[in-house]
Amino acid sequence: MSDILPAWTAVTDWLAVYAPASHATLRPGVTPADIRSTESELGVSLPADLITLLTTHDGTVDASTLDRDSDEYDPGLFLAQYHLLPLDRIAAVRDSGGSSEQFWGPWVPFAVADYSLPPWDGLAVDATGRLAAFSLADGEPPTPHASPAHGTLSEFLNALAEALTRGTGPLMDRTTPGLHRSALVWGPLPGDGAPWTPVHPQRDSTA
């Protein structure tokens, strides 16, 4: 049985307490009818773990539409520098891959690095929960992730929760969770004196 919901709950509970600006970007979950409608539109069944995520939170809002200062980082990039896509944007991204079935195969995109500017790159998941990286700019179909932190969606979210709550785990080997204007921003941020504070200073991977 997947442990994706406890991991996701640990992440969102942490955001609510320590990074409320990021937590505020989460959208309410979709309904089973919404899922069925999108599956019919795409002609594929969404992975069970992804359905669990989307019925809890339907991705994040597009922060480019929010009133933000010029030096304010996108609060929705809390998913280790990815946005969780809403259900309607999943359909839009998947439809943008040319011949969708040939390009995507069993993979369903669920996270992107830049919400508003195509061509997108990000993460996709298949029916078994495996993760794949994709880049529409390169025109290459998704390829399975080799990283132990990203082998499956469940492993990825558990690694994310571990990094936030304990300051340990595989994600901490190459990036550091930090806070910037009440948002979770993975760093370190460039420049001296940036108002960014690592969540676990004693475990900062850049120290």
Domain total for the chain? 1
What pLDDT shows up at residue 35? 98
Distance CA 36, CA 44 (A): 10
Range of the domain at 132: 4-203
The pLDDT tens digits along the chain (207 residues) read 478 999 999 999 999 999 999 999 999 999 999 999 999 988 889 999 999 999 999 999 987 666 666 567 889 999 999 999 999 999 888 887 655 677 788 889 999 988 777 778 889 999 999 999 888 877 777 777 655 557 899 999 999 999 999 999 998 988 899 999 899 999 877 665 568 899 998 765 554
CATH classification at residue 191: 3.40.1580.10
Q: Quick one: which of 150, 156, 89 has its CA closest to 118?
A: 89
CA 107 to each of CA 35, 96, 128, 130, 178: distance values in angstroms, whole numbers, following the listed order: 16, 14, 10, 9, 31
Label the pairing between strands 176-180 and 197-198: antiparallel
What pLDDT shows up at residue 54? 98
Helix axes 48-56, 153-165, angle to 10 degrees: 40
What pLDDT shows up at residue 33? 98
